[in-house]
Amino acid sequence: MKKSLIKNNSIVKIIVVSLCLISCQSNPSKEVASETNNYVPEKNDMLQAADISVGQTISLRCGACHSLSKADEPGKIGPNLFGIVGAKHARRADYAYSDALKQLKDRTWTVDNLYKWLRDPEAYAPGTLMPYAGLMDPQDRLDLIAYLMTLK
Ligand code: HEC
């Protein structure tokens, strides 16, 4: 009796482990699928889901290269980002942008465009000088953009 209980237990363990393996494998492929479908959330969805204080923490990573807090601060390695949401690309006269960004100067930094840029700057503007691999987590990008929207 005792022996068969132990046996049953190990069968349960094997089932649990394989279920975990299956679900662990299916998650990343789901993420890749939604990325390749170019999923771009609606602005309202984003604002509802976003956490501005988490976004502020994430923005510390941008602060190494960007001024964020005031419009009149000069650029660092990258241009000043104060008020960037809703502004045109390559808008700062005090910064030497790459041709990749200069040729997009009529385009607006909408929430959707920032969402794409932050996922992969090089894919958004091939040849850009922003040496940043991109924020993989969509929620991180939403939180960060929500914070950037407060900088005005
Ligand atoms: C290692 C330095 C570096 C980091 C880190 C970095 N950037 Fe940049 N960023 C740049 C540079 C350089 C440019 C100018 C790119 C060009 O001219 O092609 C730029 C350009 C930009 C622009 C375009 C601004 C405009 O005026 O059109 C935005 C928006 C931007 N960065 C946002 C961010 C955000 C948000 C983060 C944080 C997740 C970040 N960057 C992190 C260096 C950086």
Q: Is residue 108 helix, strand or coil? A: strand
Tell me: pLDDT of 61 over 80: yes
Tell me: pLDDT of 139 over 50: yes
Q: Which residues, other chains included, contact 134 with Cβ-Cβ below 8 Å and sequence gap of 6+?
A: 118, 119, 120, 121
- Ligand 1, atom 6: closest residue by C-alpha: 62
Centroid of ligand 1 to alpha carbon of 13 (angstroms): 48
* pLDDT digit string, tens, across residues 95-124: 999 999 999 999 999 999 999 999 999 999
Query: Tokens standing for 122?
Result: 């090089």
User: Of all atoms in ligand 1, which is nearest to the CA of residue 128?
Assistant: 18
Question: Does any ligand 1 atom lie closer than 6 A to the CB of residue 100?
Answer: yes
Q: Distance (Å, rounded) from C-alpha 71 to C-alpha 79? A: 11
Mean pLDDT of 58-71: 96
pLDDT of residue 49: 75
* pLDDT digit string, tens, across residues 79-92: 999 999 999 999 99
Question: Does any ligand 1 atom lie closer than 6 A to the CB of residue 40?
Answer: no
* Helices within the chain (DSSP H only): 2-36, 43-49, 52-63, 99-102, 111-119, 121-124, 138-149
Tell me: pLDDT of 39 over 80: no
